[in-house]
């Protein structure tokens, strides 16, 4: 970290899992803590799984490590056991509907973090090219 910080005057962001770790080490080493926030995942043990944590859980963890925290990856595409290129479109939509996208964005707003970056925008483009423009249309309305 000292080497990286000597290269630039810009703040250094270290990213950690929003759900799986306590954030202590990356918060201590970074200027800004970046977290991932994935609501719906697939695991080898549990299969399809929704993390049960409420928005205040993320804010509490941030307060406990006393570090500016941003969401560097908000889930904006489906999570699948196999690559999405091998997942049928109807299954992708079932795993991650436009309504789920809206719910994830609202969930991120409720955490109170000032910055949120979406993970999966290229998938929206792919879906639009596959005759499912509803994700891009939702984003157009969101960012007006």
Tens of each residue's pLDDT in the chain, 144 residues: 788 888 888 999 999 999 988 999 999 999 999 999 999 998 888 888 899 999 999 999 999 999 999 999 999 999 888 888 899 999 999 999 999 999 999 999 999 999 999 999 999 999 999 999 999 999 888 877
How far is residue 43's CA from residue 49's CA, in Å, rounded to a whole number?
Answer: 7
Any residues with CB less than 8 A from the CB of 62 and at least 6 apart, and which?
23, 33, 69, 113
Cβ atoms 52, 93 nearer than 8 A = no
How far is residue 25's CA from residue 126's CA, in Å, rounded to a whole number?
Answer: 37
**Nearest CA to 135 among 81, 38, 122?**
122
Secondary structure (3-state) at 16: strand
Residues 88, 142, 71, 107: is their CA dihedral positive or negative? Answer: negative
Q: Which helix (H) or strand (E) covers residue 47, if one does?
A: strand 47-50
Q: For residue 45, what pLDDT is reported? A: 84
Q: 29 φ, ψ to 5°?
A: -85, -25
Q: Please tell me the pTM assigned to this model.
A: 0.91
Taking residue 59's Cβ as centre, other Cβ atoms within 10 Å add up to 15
Q: For residue 50, what pLDDT is reported? A: 92
Cβ atoms 112, 87 nearer than 8 A = no
Any residues with CB less than 8 A from the CB of 124 and at least 6 apart, and which?
76, 77, 135, 136, 139
């Amino acid at each position: 970290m000292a080497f990286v910080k000597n290269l630039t005057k810009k703040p250094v962001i270290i990213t950690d899992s929003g759900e799986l770790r306590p954030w202590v080490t990356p918060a201590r080493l970074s200027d800004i803590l970046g977290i991932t926030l994935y609501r719906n995942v697939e695991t080898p043990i549990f299969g399809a799984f929704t993390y049960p944590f409420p928005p205040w859980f993320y804010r509490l963890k941030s307060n406990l490590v006393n570090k500016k925290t941003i969401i560097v990856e908000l889930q904006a595409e489906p999570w699948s056991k196999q690559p999405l290129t091998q997942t049928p479109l109807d299954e992708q939509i079932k795993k991650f509907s436009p309504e789920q996208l809206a719910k994830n964005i609202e969930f991120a707003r409720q955490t109170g973090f000032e910055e949120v970056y979406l993970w999966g925008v290229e998938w929206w483009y792919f879906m639009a090219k596959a005759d499912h423009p509803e994700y891009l249309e939702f984003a157009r309305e969101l960012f007006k």
